[in-house]
Structure 1
Amino acid sequence: MTNERRNDTQPEEFDLVVLGSGEGSKYLAWTLSKQGQRVAVVEQRWIGGSCPNIACLPSKNIIHSAKVASYFARAKEFGIETPGYTIHMEKVIDRKRAMVKGLVDIHRNNFKNSGVDLILGRGYFVGPKLIQVDLKEGGTRLLHGKKILIGTGTHAALEKVPGLEEAKPLTHIEALELDTVPGHLIVLGGGYIGLEFAQAMRRFGSRVSVLDRNTTLLHREDADISTGMESLLRDEGIDLLLGATVKQVAGISGQNVEITYQQGGETKTLQGTHLMVTIGRTPNTAGIGLELAGVELNARGYIKVNERLETTAEGVWANGEVAGSPQFTHIAFDDFRILRDNFSGGHRTTTGRQVPFSMFTDPEFARVGLSETEAKTKGIAYRLFKIPMAAVLRTRTLSEMRGFMKALVGEDDRILGFTIFGVDGGEIMSAVQIAMIGNLPYTALRDAILAHPTLMEGLTVLFSSAPTAVDPKSSKETLRKSR
């Protein structure tokens, strides 16, 4: 890692210059550098990107602490008597920080051992394929790359609501550093980040209210998922204010805040101690000189790329969230593989790739492939297999019977999609995804000998159940016997 001030007027030459050290960017940099290419990575703040520092892994660390807290709250259910327990939020955060430090140290070593020139500072275009870096320690460097990769990511969006910015609301970054339990946390937005944090903070002892402009949570998903998630959160004591549009915010988060909102034609107010905003993401494209590089944005403000992740400027690529890729770390990693192969003369694209995801509430919600809503919208006929999680005997040993799993199967017996709302849902989904990747018929899972009692054994139960045939062109749904 070098950050020395350079006084040369001529730019330093590299085979690849990367803006941002996130998932796809770092792996490409490491790979090409190990192949003998000269690579520079410019990182403004988070070495290794958001996932190990302020997103996926830190949040799951805290969510797991909240899971442990929930077990203490349920101790009597498991035959354990305890006089009570105390949440030391500062120790929860210390555990998270220790993990993050370890991950960042690993990243530093990977950059060093791969030979990548990791440059800490703010990078921006000053011409085609020409990057200036205002170094963190002072001074500047001028870099020219035969190839340029933009991986600057996104940041939390703030709506233009009177008083919202002045209230200094928490985003996920600040929420991950809360060393005290909020008295009353108000969460604006009922998406993945908001609901994961809402449940975790509730389990730590905070009163929590979630405001969402939509009339259902996870409104793009099937109705049974929305209903299941709402029931879960309400059972845990979280206030859900749905169909609520925020009109004004007063106060300062961390002290006291008051939200004025409209719901059902009425104007209402809600007071709390902390305010968290999770209403979406904004691409990090401002102030990096894209117009000087010939890089255009699409209608949504993301960098315009084709299926090969090429921008409108020759020799410039973009990957990850800033390129409009689905906002998951595993998709950014696949962006790396696309770029790696194409840089070697291949022709790999983003077209038609699977986008699995898991929402780490407890229980988890996970899906891969088509949902029922999507299948009906596209006019795709399917057979629906669906069972409650209670039908999977392992859940009874765990006292984790909430939820269900379901699968959509086509006429050729191939699995079109799988959805689960249940314990370890992401792990179970991945098993089905592997079957889908192998184009296996559902009968391969139905007839498999899976260990008992395991959660994965539930797939045999699922695909042995009686399916419902659904034809989007007909209002009739009929039961069919499994083949």
Structure 2
Amino acid sequence: MRDIVIIGGGPGGYVAAIRGAQLGARVCLIEMDRVGGTCLNWGCIPTKALYKHAEILRTLDKSNTYGIHVEAYAMDVQQVQERKQTIVDKLVGGVQQLLKSNHVEVIKGKGIMKDAHHVIVEKEDGTIEEIEGKHLIIATGSLPDTLPLEGIDEEGVWNTNDILAFEEVPEKLAIIGGGVVGMEFASIFNGFGSDVSVLEYLPQILNQVDSAISKRFKSMAKKSGIAITTQAEVKKIVKTTDGLDIHYRCKGKEHILSADKVLVAAGRRANLAGLELDGLGIAYTKKGIQVNENYETSVKGIYAIGDVNGKSMLAHVASHQGVHVVEHIMGMAHKEEKVVPSCIFVFPEIAYAGITEDEAKEQDIPVRVGKFMFSANGKAMTLGKDEGFVKLIAHEETHDVLGMHILGPHASDLIHEGVLAIQNGLKIEDMIETIHAHPTLAEAIHEAALDVLDLGIHSLPKKK
């Protein structure tokens, strides 16, 4: 009998497997496709590979500003796809080696739970194997969601998996959905040279982001050539001789948007298919499997981590939950997580952690806010990436750091200073008293901290 049996080898499942093995557990990992899951094979990694190509093209477009004159250049889509796949394959191979080195038993096949201690594995060759375990962890991840739209199945209508396999850059790309995924692909294909249009149902794009950042980024995206329409209710998609027409309603009027390809970026949904949850009595909703504070389901001994429980569809959250569960199973105490960083790979990057200024107002939390523009940061200017700002939120009385929000270069790398501060209950004074190297982008964080207390050195005094 195995100590832990895990269904799904994504960033939740494989991390849980390795951590369990480190603690001396006998672990079996069941994966029907490739280890690494959506993140490594069809999500985070391949999209960031494409993001880099788009970034290079954007730099080449502005090469004259650096005194570098490039006569001509073109993008080889096949080579782009090959590089993307090489990166994915190398990382998948690395995960496979880690599992092997940690003596994790890996079985390729579809895992179906029989009861709280048995999983039936349907293998590729048609054979069936029954695996017994003391504890089961469901880590089946998520799938691209869809919309109940007429024409959603027309040729040329992509989901987020389809678009990664593009064979040529569409001249006109329409994206339904202005959330994280929609805006990331909008930025990438805008960089590739597509005429990109985004239709968003809500009043603003990136609805979960601090409103000041969302509004500023929307303006920057439009300036770069991305057309954005909010409060757009898509009615149907119609195939035409020239491509696809999206029929939508906005502010009481009917409109048609024509495109060569349409990306439906409707988010993701928990992958509950084939788990036999009803038969086992495992409680779930449309959002995902219901779990308690230790990610245990309504059936004792069965846990659910990552996207499948619907709490947060982020790879690093899945990994964290996986570690939490196996440490709980092995009798270790685990600190409650307080803050989760989120990163959006657009141009420029967006990253945030903690509460927004709007949330503070809604919760009647008195706060002080500090901001610093990258346009006044020396390193950002030398990089030619001086758009955006750092925004810090602290409690008005205690000066505890409550939130950090960044729109600007390398935001995804800079956010962790804020995560560390919020997670450990640090105060704005702690950030101010920390020496930040010069010239670095991180100095913008230091200046934002100073601004919280009206002590900014490299910004104009606030008007009283």
TM-score when normalising by structure 1: 0.90
TM-aligned CA deviation for residue 41 of structure 1 = 1.4
Q: Does 1:448 align with 2:441?
A: no
Q: Does 1:93 align with 2:81?
A: yes
What is the alpha-carbon distance in structure 1 between the residues aligned to residue 37 and residue 337 of structure 2? Answer: 26
Contact 1:128-1:292 within 8 A present in 2 as well? no
Contact 2:393-2:452 within 8 A present in 1 as well? no
Q: Does 1:427 align with 2:413?
A: yes
- Pick the aligned partner of 1:380 from 340, 365, 375: 365
- Pick the aligned partner of 1:462 from 445, 448, 452: 448
TM-aligned CA deviation for residue 352 of structure 1 = 5.2
> In the alignment, residue 156 of structure 1 is paired with which amino acid?
P
TM-aligned CA deviation for residue 48 of structure 1 = 1.9
- Pick the aligned partner of 2:208 from 220, 226, 229: 220
What is the alpha-carbon distance in structure 1 between the residues aligned to residue 309 and residue 68 of structure 2? Answer: 51
What is the alpha-carbon distance in structure 2 between the residues aligned to residue 234 and residue 272 of structure 1? Answer: 18
What pairs up with 1:204-283 in 2 under 5 angstroms?
204-251=192-239, 256-283=243-270
What is the alpha-carbon distance in structure 2 between the residues aligned to residue 414 and residue 301 of structure 1? Answer: 33
What is the alpha-carbon distance in structure 2 between the residues aligned to residue 229 and residue 258 of structure 1? Answer: 27
TM-aligned CA deviation for residue 33 of structure 1 = 3.2
**Aligned residue for 2:145?**
157
Deviations 1:278-332 (A, max 9, x none): 112111112221122221103x341010011000011100100101231111111
> In the alignment, residue 208 of structure 1 is paired with which amino acid?
V
Contact 1:169-1:252 within 8 A present in 2 as well? no
TM-aligned CA deviation for residue 31 of structure 1 = 2.8
Identity level (%): 29
Mean Cα deviation higher: 427-436 or 79-88:
427-436
Residue 165 of structure 1 aligns to a residue whose secondary structure is coil
Pair 1:480–1:268, CA change in 2 (3 A): closer
Contact 1:125-1:292 within 8 A present in 2 as well? no
What is the alpha-carbon distance in structure 2 between the residues aligned to residue 51 and residue 432 of structure 1? Answer: 24
**Aligned residue for 1:6?**
none
Pair 1:480–1:311, CA change in 2 (3 A): farther
- Pick the aligned partner of 1:322 from 302, 308, 311: 308
- Pick the aligned partner of 1:107 from 95, 100, 103: 95
Pair 1:305–1:251, CA change in 2 (3 A): same
> In the alignment, residue 230 of structure 1 is paired with which amino acid?
K
Contact 1:33-1:116 within 8 A present in 2 as well? yes
> In the alignment, residue 327 of structure 2 is paired with which amino acid?
D
Deviations 1:415-452 (A, max 9, x none): 11111111111222112222333333212222333221
What is the alpha-carbon distance in structure 2 between the residues aligned to residue 435 and residue 467 of structure 1? Answer: 17
Mean Cα deviation higher: 106-115 or 16-25:
106-115
Contact 2:210-2:405 within 8 A present in 1 as well? no
What pairs up with 1:305-316 in 2 under 5 angstroms?
305-316=291-302
Contact 2:342-2:352 within 8 A present in 1 as well? yes
**Aligned residue for 1:475?**
none
Runs of 4+ in 1 over 6 A off after TM superposition: none
**Aligned residue for 1:396?**
381
Residue 178 of structure 1 aligns to a residue whose secondary structure is coil
Contact 1:209-1:239 within 8 A present in 2 as well? yes
What is the alpha-carbon distance in structure 1 between the residues aligned to residue 104 and residue 385 of structure 2? Answer: 46
Pair 1:393–1:93, CA change in 2 (3 A): same
What is the alpha-carbon distance in structure 2 between the residues aligned to residue 435 and residue 304 of structure 1? Answer: 30
Q: Does 1:69 align with 2:57?
A: yes
- Pick the aligned partner of 1:147 from 135, 138, 149: 135
TM-score when normalising by structure 2: 0.93
TM-aligned CA deviation for residue 467 of structure 1 = 4.8
Q: Does 1:117 align with 2:115?
A: no
TM-aligned CA deviation for residue 106 of structure 1 = 1.1
CA RMSD of aligned residues (A): 2.1
> In the alignment, residue 189 of structure 2 is paired with which amino acid?
M
Deviations 1:359-387 (A, max 9, x none): 11121111111110111111100011112
Deviations 1:257-297 (A, max 9, x none): 21111111111111111111111211111222112222110
Structure 2 gap ranges (5+): 455-461
Contact 1:392-1:461 within 8 A present in 2 as well? no
**Aligned residue for 2:119?**
131
> In the alignment, residue 216 of structure 1 is paired with which amino acid?
Q
> In the alignment, residue 398 of structure 1 is paired with which amino acid?
L
TM-aligned CA deviation for residue 134 of structure 1 = 1.4
Pair 1:257–1:127, CA change in 2 (3 A): same
Deviations 1:51-101 (A, max 9, x none): 211111111111011101101000111111111211112111111100011
Deviations 1:190-249 (A, max 9, x none): 111111111111111111111110121112333311211111111111111211111111
TM-aligned CA deviation for residue 388 of structure 1 = 1.7
**Aligned residue for 2:459?**
none
Residue 15 of structure 1 aligns to a residue whose secondary structure is strand
What is the alpha-carbon distance in structure 2 between the residues aligned to residue 169 and residue 432 of structure 1? Answer: 39
Contact 1:395-1:455 within 8 A present in 2 as well? yes
Residue 465 of structure 1 aligns to a residue whose secondary structure is helix
> In the alignment, residue 293 of structure 2 is paired with which amino acid?
E
Contact 1:167-1:252 within 8 A present in 2 as well? no
Q: Does 1:38 align with 2:20?
A: no
Deviations 1:372-417 (A, max 9, x none): 0111111100011112221222211122111111111112122111
What is the alpha-carbon distance in structure 2 between the residues aligned to residue 84 and residue 168 of structure 1? Answer: 30
What is the alpha-carbon distance in structure 1 between the residues aligned to residue 22 and residue 331 of structure 2? Answer: 18
TM-aligned CA deviation for residue 252 of structure 1 = 8.7
**Aligned residue for 1:473?**
none
> In the alignment, residue 267 of structure 1 is paired with which amino acid?
E
- Pick the aligned partner of 1:291 from 278, 290, 293: 278
TM-aligned CA deviation for residue 167 of structure 1 = 4.2
